[in-house]
Amino acid sequence: MRFVVELSYDGTRYHGWQVQQNAHSVQAELNTALAKLLGNPVETIGCGRTDTGVHALQFFAHFDNPTPLPHNFIFRVNKILPNDIAIHEVYKVNDTFNARFDATYRLYEYHLHSKPDPFLVNRSYYRYGSLDFGAMNLAAQKLFDYTDFECFSKTRTQVYTFNCKIMQAKWQKTHESRHVFTIQADRFLRNMVRAIVGSLIDVGSGKLTIQGFEAMIQSKKRTEAGLSVPAHGLYLKSIGYDYTLTPFEKIDE
């Protein structure tokens, strides 16, 4: 039987989602907790990757188990997991469902603040100085005119295409000194969001014009784009699925 867990995590202590040798990962913690509770090895498949230090407000992972899940599954597995990872829901899905490949979109937020705040350490990127968010939003709108985003991709990465369909991209002020960049696409390249944000900050600081931003995209060269902003300001906020094709049957606790 195939099940899906919906979870969230603080990525501060982890080298991203995916299991790696000699590195602490969210997936390894989840696999270990599930195996301990269910009494057999469990290999989860996540809805995507997050890099070291990146947080997830919503994340889905599927796994197979030969028997129904035990009573109070969510409560019991959360007792095993560290307190910076939490499972919120569990669903029964069809055996062909894949948390990664069946996702129709992913939505990220990047949090930025311009005044020191001890409560935002490891939660938002502190950048001193004013930025022209109007110009940054005008530049962000140019993303809709393109599909090839190789210039924002981490180099030496193995992907079959650099094409992504951007569905949403905008900056919003959430507080006197805080802004959030929201971006949604069918898929993202490694390091893509952080490189986009870094390039938009170059526009907002006057280092790069909007025309230069477009030329950078057209160049398809990572060396032409801005620096990647720190990972701790990035959040995977939501994942989309076509629930008419793959119904999520919620398991009552």
Which of the residues are catalytic?
51
Q: Give the containing element (helix H, strand E) for 88.
A: strand 85-93
* CA torsion, ordered 32, 33, 34, 38, to nearest 10 deg: 100
Contact 73, 253 (CB under 8 A): yes
Q: What angle do CA 75, 5, 82 make, to 5 degrees?
A: 50
Q: How far is CA 232 from CA 51, 60, 125, 143, 224, in A?
A: 10, 20, 7, 23, 24
Collect all residues with Cβ–Cβ distance below 8 Å to 61 and sequence separation of at least 6. Answer: 4, 5, 7, 27, 30, 44, 45, 46, 47, 99
Collect all residues with Cβ–Cβ distance below 8 Å to 249 and sequence separation of at least 6. Answer: 91, 92, 93
